[in-house]
Amino acid sequence: MGGIERKTVLPGVNLSCVYTDKFKNGLFSAYLMRGLNSDDAPKNAMLADVLRRGCTEFPDMESIEARLDELYGASVSTVMRQIGETTAVGFSSFFADDRYLGGTEKILESAVSLTGQLLLDPATKGGMLNSDYVRSERDNLCDRIRAAVNDKRRYAVMRLKELMCADESYGVNPLGSLEKAGKMTHVSLTRHYRHILEHSPLELFYCGGAEPGRVEAAVLDAFAAMPRGETEPCDTEVRIDCGPMRTVNEKMDVSQGNLAIGFRLGEIMYNPNHAAMAVFSAVFGGSPVSKLFLNVRERMSLCYSVGSSLDRHKGIMVVSAGISPSKYDAATEEIFNQLDKCRRGEISEDELAAAKKYVASGLRESADEAALLDSYWLSRRVDGTDCTPEETAALAECVSAEQVIEVAESVKADMIYFLSGEESGQ
Amino acid sequence: MRAIHYEKLNETLWRSELDNGLSIYVLPKKGFNKKYAFFAANYGGCDMRFKADGKWVDTPAGIAHYLEHKMFDMPYGSAMNRLTGNGASPNAFTSNGITGYLFSCTDGFETNLRTLLEYVSTPYFTDESVEKERGIIGQEIRMGEDNPSRAVLTGLLKALYRTHPVREQIAGTLESIALIDAETLYTCHKKFYNPANMVLCCSGDIDPRTVEDIAAEMITAPRGERYIRDFGEAESLLPDRIKNVREMPVGIPIFMTGSKMEYVAGKDWTRRLITAQLGCDLLMGTSSPLYADMYASGLINGSFYSGIMDFPEGAAALAGGMCAQPGEVMARICAAAEALEAGQAERERFGRLKKAVMGGLLAELDSPEDLCHAHAERHFDGALPLEQMDIVEGIEPEEAVALVKELFAAERLAISEIVPPGGEA
């Protein structure tokens, strides 16, 4: 197991299936793929929430939820994922495998059908999306945009991306700006909905124990009415170079300081070796065996949390750390010092082996969780690759120290962002 | 080892108790790459006072969590590094009731299991190493202080309870952890990390007997005592205070209301917790008329939740979320609770909600982590997950209605609010 079966079931509608007997539940997802830009961001961010409020057969939340309870607590969640500068917006449904329930109900067909109805057959008033639903989800979206400050660490990373990529799509808040979100009406959202339904690639994914023919039949039945026009591409712009490093400090009433440092991955993005990038990330800061974790946190106690994450689609790496403001100089210095060590090849055999194991076992473990397989395969879809988690793990195991050094040498710091308390004297 | 086979679910639970009292559960998962081990002590954030040798012993808030941080130190260096070096992803956490040490891996399971069992059984602290950790835990505490979701819960628990230690932060405070030294850690490890007070749960494509053999080989300590623990004085079911409000930089005000639940020991406790959860779902879950009304009128949004939080010898019924008019939401909940009856419509909904709970238990079976954590928690108090299917079957709508009416009666409720600086709730 682990292989993917891909099929174009309708024009621009791709079904990817992982068939496995090891789960007691199934997962089905449907995503419209869109490019990220500031005008569309709030529309995409609220669309699935509006559609989730009601469809023709189940016109309100109460009837949808009653239906889901009836289907043994199946869920249909609205999902928005960012893959580089591509936004995937849609639904993910998780449901019990009917073989273990002893009843006669066909849960798979019912869940796929409900997902299709929510996407294609919304509750309307006068041919438009229900204006009450649009108004209330617009208010909810505005609340979510305002609530971004509640999680300080994520807020710091979000601000870094906005500032560092101010003239790139990547710098757009995927939820949109408060100003643009607040102006949304049921008329503008209906127009957007019709447009993207017709012109976006639709990615469908299934993981579970049903036989292949059954899934495809359920999908064809549920998505037959999908309007299909010419699909619009969604690409991610990769910037290789950046200017001199910039520094931004912002203040808020917080007791802990939050540091976020943005890097460009540089020339390696011309011909990216994803396995080497993943292993470099695990050596430098993206794992508990990393230099940042073992030195900045464990050895020097400069912070409670520190880590790096790497977006291989966009070619950006972010280091984030929760620190006491008085440790700002020491922490930033040590973060760059550890990166220099990677560049100089000061990576022990044990470090490299542990990082490779970390990456490989993480990939293999993802094959045990349907939700992880969903995001794994969606991300591969954007890359246009078909390597299974097992194959990707095997590639990571073959990465050499030289390949890791090559990634480290290519990385360039672009911006340091620091969020700290009003009175702290940084 | 004894195997219990659940025919309909095609699952087998293996369990065993070693001579020294260590309990072991294994849930084999054929075809999974991930192998998961969870080794837990019945000792958590709520354990601050216990009786040893006839005397009550008081320890500072945050002691169980501090001990968790220091357990990774071994005479050979860091157990964390040894596990990660062998391809495992190790971690640990302290909840109100237990401290759990865990790893997942795809290869080298037996070696990793030995490492886990060894380091958790080996206290190795020095004054220097304990001192060094204070900075890291201090940062963790401060990070928690900036977290409004945590603050709103703490505000509610502090309003509800007068003495139960769930009022305190699991990690303690900067002041309380200042009182912890190597000696306190040694004492608490000795008292609580003994085989009779611990449980090992494993899941994945593994052989149950191998797990038992390795545990018997590694855990050679004698059976210890199970100490009497003090979780505060018996309290009235009414809240200690009605309201706590705190200012924090939040984009939208956050609130949480709730009440105390009366504790009963053993499997009845699990039954009571599930009954209360079903009652909450019936009253204000996503498929209830109340939820639909409040959502449609913009009073609540998708962040609204309701349910039960349990901890040693207690539980709280909760409802909350981001909301500009928490008082109004609280009033609506109280009014709906008062009016709730087990009529025809409610009975039908209750039947569906039971199906949904069953589906939730089935979902847990696909997650080795969730399965192991649930077995460990329930081993010490309550009914195991696979036993819960039968419990759910037997719960009547009248029971859930009666319980939730009581839990959301106006006089039982306290409220906690987090508001933006200068903002009016």
Same domain? For B331 and B287 the reply is yes
**CA distance linking residue B160 with residue B267, whole number of Å:** 25
Single residue among B178, B204, B229 that ends a domain in this structure: B229
- B327 phi and psi angles, rounded to 5 deg: -60, -40
Residue B220 lies in a domain: yes
B285: its two tokens: 């879950």
What is residue B423's predicted lDDT score, i.e. its pLDDT? 58
Residue B237 lies in a domain: no
Give the strands of the sheet with B49-52, arranged side by side.
B55-58, B49-52, B228-229
> Is residue A137 a contact partner of residue A52, using CB atoms and an 8 Å limit?
no
**CA distance linking residue B79 with residue B100, whole number of Å:** 15
- B232 phi and psi angles, rounded to 5 deg: 95, 170
> Is residue B341 a contact partner of residue B173, using CB atoms and an 8 Å limit?
no
**CA distance linking residue A145 with residue A162, whole number of Å:** 14
Indicate if the pLDDT at residue A337 is higher than 70: yes
Q: Tell me A399's DSSP state.
A: -
Residues in A closer than 8 angstroms to B135, CB to CB, are: 301
What is residue B139's predicted lDDT score, i.e. its pLDDT? 85
What is residue B52's predicted lDDT score, i.e. its pLDDT? 84
3-state per-residue secondary structure call for A204-266:
EEEEECCCHHHHHHHHHHHHCCCCCCCCCCCCCCCCCCCCCCEEEEEECCCCCEEEEEEEECH
How many residue contacts between A and B have a Cβ separation below 8 Å?
A: 187
Q: Is B393 a catalytic residue?
A: no
What is residue B87's predicted lDDT score, i.e. its pLDDT? 87
Residues in B closer than 8 angstroms to A145, CB to CB, are: 251
Please judge whether A68 and B287 are an interchain contact, meaning their C-beta atoms are less than 8 angstroms apart.
yes
Same domain? For B55 and B119 the reply is yes
What is residue A406's predicted lDDT score, i.e. its pLDDT? 98
Q: Which of B11, B12, B143, B145 to mutate to test the interface with A (most CBs of A within 10 A)?
A: B143
**CA distance linking residue A337 with residue B69, whole number of Å:** 26
Q: Which amino acid appears at position A195 of this protein?
A: H
Cα–Cα distances in angstroms (integers) from residue A21 to residues A26, A95, A225, in the given order: 10, 15, 31
How many C-beta neighbours within 10 Å does residue B115 have?
Answer: 22
Question: 């998961």: which residue's tokens?
Answer: B36
3-class SS shares of chain B: helix, strand, coil, % to 5: 45, 20, 35
Residue B234 lies in a domain: no
Indicate if the pLDDT at residue A280 is higher than 70: yes
Q: Which amino acid appears at position A57 of this protein?
A: E
**CA distance linking residue B43 with residue B28, whole number of Å:** 27
Fold agreement (A5-223, A246-420): yes
> Is residue B105 a contact partner of residue A361, using CB atoms and an 8 Å limit?
yes
Same domain? For B211 and B254 the reply is no
C-alpha torsion B61→B66→B71→B74, nearest 10 = -130
- How does residue A385 score in pLDDT terms, banded at 50, 70 and 90? confident
Residues in B closer than 8 angstroms to A150, CB to CB, are: 148-149, 250-251, 254
Over residues A327-334, the mean pLDDT reads 95
C-alpha Rg value of chain A to the nearest Å: 23
How many C-beta neighbours within 10 Å does residue B348 have?
Answer: 13
Single residue among B201, B229, B257 that ends a domain in this structure: B229
Of A68, A69, A152, the CB nearest to B146: A152
Of A21, A69, A150, the CB nearest to B250: A150
> Is residue A328 a contact partner of residue A259, using CB atoms and an 8 Å limit?
yes
B353: its two tokens: 């909600």
Of A72, A298, A365, the CB nearest to B355: A72
CB-based burial label for A27 (10 Å; 0-12, 13-18, 19+): buried
Residues in B closer than 8 angstroms to A21, CB to CB, are: 31
> Is residue A296 a contact partner of residue A334, using CB atoms and an 8 Å limit?
yes
Instruction: Kindly identify which residue of chain B lies nearest to residue A397, measuring between CA atoms.
Output: B87
CA angle (A414, A265, A40) in 5-degree steps: 75
Instruction: Kindly identify which residue of chain A lies nearest to residue B356, measuring between CA atoms.
Output: A73
> Is residue A126 a contact partner of residue A58, using CB atoms and an 8 Å limit?
no
Q: Tell me B222's DSSP state.
A: P
Q: Does A105 touch chain B (CB under 8 A)?
A: no
- How does residue A283 score in pLDDT terms, banded at 50, 70 and 90? very high
- How does residue B424 score in pLDDT terms, banded at 50, 70 and 90? very low
Please judge whether A358 and B31 are an interchain contact, meaning their C-beta atoms are less than 8 angstroms apart.
no
> Is residue A381 a contact partner of residue A14, using CB atoms and an 8 Å limit?
yes
Q: How far apart are the first and last CA of chain B?
A: 57
Same domain? For B76 and B29 the reply is yes
> Is residue A227 a contact partner of residue A40, using CB atoms and an 8 Å limit?
no
Indicate if the pLDDT at residue B342 is higher than 80: yes
CA distance A247 to chain B (A): 23
Same domain? For B271 and B329 the reply is yes
> Is residue B319 a contact partner of residue B258, using CB atoms and an 8 Å limit?
yes
Same domain? For B285 and B362 the reply is yes
- How does residue A425 score in pLDDT terms, banded at 50, 70 and 90? very low
Look up the CATH number of the domain holding residue B144.
Answer: 3.30.830.10
Lowest pLDDT segment from A338-342, B85-89, B370-374 = B85-89
Pairing verdict, β B49-52 and B55-58: antiparallel
Interface of A with B in 253-272 (CB under 8 A): 253-256
What is residue A253's predicted lDDT score, i.e. its pLDDT? 87
Reported as a single tens digit per residue, the pLDDT across B99-146 is 999 999 999 999 999 999 999 999 999 999 999 899 889 988 988 888
**CA distance linking residue A88 with residue A100, whole number of Å:** 32
CB-based burial label for A211 (10 Å; 0-12, 13-18, 19+): exposed
Residues 6 or more apart whose CB falls under 8 angstroms from that of A227 comprise A194, A197, A198
**CA distance linking residue A142 with residue A183, whole number of Å:** 10
**Average predicted confidence (pLDDT) for chain B:** 94
Same domain? For B203 and B259 the reply is no
Which structural domain range is residue B413 located in? 243-419
Same domain? For B172 and B103 the reply is yes
What is residue A299's predicted lDDT score, i.e. its pLDDT? 84
What is residue A2's predicted lDDT score, i.e. its pLDDT? 57
Please judge whether B292 and A358 are an interchain contact, meaning their C-beta atoms are less than 8 angstroms apart.
no
**CA distance linking residue B363 with residue B356, whole number of Å:** 10
> Is residue B232 a contact partner of residue B386, using CB atoms and an 8 Å limit?
no
Residue B236 lies in a domain: no
Instruction: Kindly identify which residue of chain B lies nearest to residue A298, measuring between CA atoms.
Output: B136
Tell me: domain A5-223, CATH 3.30.830.10, correct? yes
DSSP helix/strand/coil, B267: helix
**CA distance linking residue B225 with residue A59, whole number of Å:** 59
Percentage of residues in chain B with pLDDT exceeding 70? Answer: 99
DSSP string across A47-64: HHHHHTT-BSSS-SHHHH
Q: Does A149 touch chain B (CB under 8 A)?
A: yes
Single residue among B196, B229, B262 that ends a domain in this structure: B229
| Torsion A249-A251-A257-A263 (CA) sign | negative
- Angle at which helices A61-70 and B344-364 cross, to 10°: 60
CA angle (A356, A349, A412) in 5-degree steps: 70
What is residue B143's predicted lDDT score, i.e. its pLDDT? 83
Q: Of A310, A296, A307, give the one whose Cα is nearest residue A264.
A: A310
Residues 6 or more apart whose CB falls under 8 angstroms from that of B133 comprise A301, B66, B69, B70
> Is residue B110 a contact partner of residue B141, using CB atoms and an 8 Å limit?
no
Same domain? For B196 and B250 the reply is no
**CA distance linking residue A9 with residue B21, whole number of Å:** 58
Same domain? For B33 and B164 the reply is yes
Which helix (H) or strand (E) segment holds residue B348: the answer is helix B344-364
Reported as a single tens digit per residue, the pLDDT across A130-143 is 999 999 999 999 99
Reported as a single tens digit per residue, the pLDDT across B203-258 is 999 999 999 999 999 999 988 877 889 999 889 999 999 999 999 989 889 999 99
What is residue A300's predicted lDDT score, i.e. its pLDDT? 86
Same domain? For B225 and B258 the reply is no
What is residue B208's predicted lDDT score, i.e. its pLDDT? 97
Tell me: domain A246-420, CATH 3.30.830.10, correct? yes
CB-based burial label for A244 (10 Å; 0-12, 13-18, 19+): exposed
**CA distance linking residue B69 with residue B47, whole number of Å:** 16
Q: Which of the residues B11, B68, B168, B233 is marked catalytic?
A: B68
Same domain? For B149 and B278 the reply is no
- Angle at which helices B109-120 and B208-218 cross, to 10°: 40
Q: Give chain B's domain count.
A: 2
> Is residue B313 a contact partner of residue B320, using CB atoms and an 8 Å limit?
no
CA angle (A25, A26, A28) in 5-degree steps: 155
Over residues B39-52, the mean pLDDT reads 94
DSSP helix/strand/coil, A202: strand
- How does residue B68 score in pLDDT terms, banded at 50, 70 and 90? very high
Domain boundaries, chain A: 5-223, 246-420
C-alpha torsion B159→B162→B166→B169, nearest 10 = 70
- How does residue A423 score in pLDDT terms, banded at 50, 70 and 90? low
B138: its two tokens: 């201090």
> Is residue A314 a contact partner of residue A238, using CB atoms and an 8 Å limit?
yes
